[in-house]
Chain A
Amino acid sequence: MKIHEFQAKELLKGYGIPIQDGVTIEDPAQAEAAVDQVNKEFGAEQYVIKAQIHAGGRGKGGGVKFSTTRESALENIQKILGMTLITHQTGADGRLVKKVMVAQALDISKEFYAAITLDRASGKDVFMVSSEGGMEIEEVAKTSPEKIVREAIVPGFGLRPFQARNLARALGLEGQAAKQAMGIFQKLYKLYREKDCSIVEINPLVTTEQGDVVALDAKMNFDDNALYMHKDIVEMRDLDEEDPSEVEAAEFNLNYIKLDGSVGCMVNGAGLAMATMDIIKQRGGSPANFLDVGGGANVETVKNGFRIILSDPNVKAVLINIFGGIVRCDRIANGIIEAVKVLDLNVPVVVRLAGTNAEIAKELLANSDVDLISADSFEDAANKVVEAARQA
């Protein structure tokens, strides 16, 4: 699960990490009050207006504006709130900006990068810092990997003081700033661990002209498997930032990801679902979605899956690819028959059922009056659905 910058900063603040503070609003009518509050509460004379969306690259896309006066701050709020922000992470359609953070502008001396995430290869959390703050870390990793310094965290031992010291030294910090940075690093790991983050990233972490170390931006993702322990985090979820059909699918325990092709897919199992998308592409088609109906697929899940796939106007044909292990194909067949009856089906549907009770399922489908194209193998199914989509 992802959260906004302003929410991530609230969490940092709660852990005693100094942040670039501000006020976040949704309504343009609150603009004046917000600017005045930032002026009064944080002593700001200059401001940074920051679009709040769940995607990186906001600055380059025009979603972050430095404002030297109250007037220009108000102007920039009106500009950004309600704009469609396009960044390298939003896709071509961009994202509507519904929230904006009015932040205090700081006198920045130096910018750094700090992050914690899991290193899958070693099975350990790793703390990373770089003197190249403000840049995309992937870019730094590619061009100057020596500028990223890592400390692996031994499970159960946390980030040790000597490690925090190493990280601060790697950034060239000395004296008071080094001490502040060490404190920030240890608090950051505490937050990461206590809130079950999958990544925390402060980019940039800055030193100010006054010599303070401050988090200027923050990004946090959380482990979905651990959300049951964190009500406070779940409350921060912003459904405006998610695809409505994906949200709906999740309510039915369906794992659905919308893509931009024309062949709808319904598959059991994540690996087979990915492979189904791949083979559609290889045969010259393009998948409209990823949909894993899971191990407990029944009549209801099939019906809901069907409805969600068909709600995408780009879908020209549907492929149902089920390899029954625990899932019984006859149940899937009944789900298909019922779904077709209820839904207004206006695209061709190719069905491939294999595994447990596949023969019974094929008979059920053959004896029903639903109009389906049956396929004998994975390959046959892919060829048929791509052809059907092409003709539609």
Chain B
Amino acid sequence: MAILVNKDSKIIVQGITGSEGTFHATQCLEYGGNVVGGVTPGKGGQTALEGKVPVFNSCAEAREQVGANVSLIFVPPPFAADAIMEAAAAGIELIVCITEGIPVAQMVEVKAFVDTTDSRFIGPNCPGILTPEGAKVGIMPGFIAKKGSVGVISKSGTLTYEAVDQLGQQGLGQSTCIGIGGDPIIGTTMKDLLEMFEADPETEAIVMIGEIGGSMEIEAAQYAKDHVSKPVIGFIAGQTAPPGRRMGHAGAIVSGADESAAAKKKLMAECGILVSESPADIGRTVVEALKK
């Protein structure tokens, strides 16, 4: 089970012939994921990953010829928005965009475009998805995770690794870990994933790692209050961030009072989420939640 990706996912990599694409596609393949090909316009007919997979000119070709249903995107920023739309137009069911630095105005259009299709979109500027012993569709280091029953949703990359590591120290594995990205416009929200984890029989608890800026954590918390029966454990990074300064992620900026870490944590707690005050206590808080 798990959510979004598993052993059966037929994964293609857009931008597979670039250095980033080649490196990470190889890693995904070595993790055991079913990487069935790649897309680089103009290089159709060639092979990639030392001859292991075919390269197609378009997502539509890859969909038609190898039945691709998941796409992982490593296309450079000026072309990434188009790559996402191409995948959606080709009917790829799940699109994960790792690319950092896509102009926001282009993402506004991408979101509107993808919304007209049945595709689910994750990212951009995110570490992707990891289902331990299933598939890795992204750049998370596979060795830190192990199969288990905690679902992990996070806006950040390395903070996700930190949380997964803490879970491991407590003897807890993960059903699926998803990095949703820290940009102002992203494809899949925390609320969307809470809904999926709630429906996944393998998941027993959900960790939700947010940060300052935006209102996604609040929307998710309000949803969890009425619709999620499994324990939800939360953390918000950036309590020490000065207002008005962008903290690395384009979206991590406090532009209104309710976007601060303190305001989000307060509301999450009111909605029944177990909030870990310290980033070093995420693992322990999950153990506590599971005891209840």
Interface mask (B203-247 → A, CB under 8 Å = 1, otherwise 0):
000000101101110010000000000000001011111101101
> Which residues of chain B have C-beta atoms less than 8 A from A290's C-beta?
241, 247-248
CB of A271 within 8 A of CB of B159, answer yes
Which of A5-13, A102-110, A318-326 makes up part of the contact surface? A318-326
Q: In this assembly, does B155 line the interface, its C-beta being within 8 Å of a C-beta of chain A?
A: yes
Q: Which of B106-129 contact A (CB under 8 A)?
A: 106, 108-109, 111-112, 127
In angstroms, Cα B165 to Cα A290, docked, is 23
| B142 CB to nearest A CB, Å | 9
- Give chain B residues whose Cβ lies under 8 Å from the Cβ of A120: 184-185, 214-216, 251
A282 engages B277 (CB within 8 Å): yes
A355 lies within 8 A of B141 (CB): yes
Q: Mark A214-245, 1 if CB is under 8 A from B, else 0.
A: 00000000011110110000000000000000
- Given A272-B162, A325-B139, A355-B161, residue A225 in contact with residue B237 (CB < 8 A): no
Size of B's binding interface in residues, CB under 8 A:
60
By the criterion CB–CB under 8 Å, are B108 and A138 in contact?
A: no
Residues of A within 8 A of B141 (CB): 324-326, 355-356
The residues of B that contact A270 with a CB separation of less than 8 Å are 156, 182, 211, 247-249, 252
Q: Does A30 sit within 8 A of B, measured CB to CB?
A: no
- CB atoms of A225 and B102 under 8 A apart: yes
Contact B239 A281 (CB under 8 A): yes
Check if B144 sits within 8 Å of A155, measured CB to CB: no
Q: From known contacts A123-B185, A156-B109, A273-B248, infer whether A223 and B280 are also in contact, taking CB-CB under 8 Å.
A: no
The reply on B78 being an interface residue by CB < 8 A is yes
Q: Is A121 an interface residue (CB 8 A)?
A: yes
Cβ of A115 to closest chain B Cβ, rounded Å:
12
Classify chain A's interface size.
35 or more
Interface centre among B109, B140, B278 (most CB of A within 10 A): B278
A193 proximal to B (CB < 8 A): yes
Q: Is B89 an interface residue (CB 8 A)?
A: no
A118 close to B (CB within 8 Å): yes
Residues of B within 8 A of A121 (CB): 214-216, 219
Pick the contact of A271: B102, B154, B184, B242 (CB < 8 A): B154
Give A283's nearest chain B residue, CB to CB. Answer: B278
The 5 closest A-B pairs by CB, nearest first: A271-B156, A270-B248, A269-B158, A271-B159, A226-B103
Interface on B for A, CB 8 Å cutoff?
77-78, 101-106, 108-109, 111-112, 127, 139-141, 143-144, 154-162, 165, 182, 184-185, 209, 211-212, 214-216, 219, 235, 237-242, 244-245, 247-252, 256-257, 261, 277-280
- Seen from chain A, the residues whose Cβ lies within 8 Å of a Cβ on chain B are 89, 118, 120-121, 123-125, 138, 141, 154-156, 193, 196, 198, 223-226, 228-229, 255, 257, 259, 267-282, 286-287, 290, 292, 295, 323-326, 354-356, 377-379, 382
> Given contacts A269-B248, A354-B165, could you give 20 more A-B pairs where the C-beta distance is less than 8 Å?
A118-B104, A118-B108, A120-B214, A121-B214, A138-B256, A223-B104, A225-B104, A257-B247, A270-B247, A271-B154, A271-B155, A272-B157, A275-B159, A277-B240, A279-B279, A325-B144, A325-B157, A355-B161, A377-B280, A378-B280
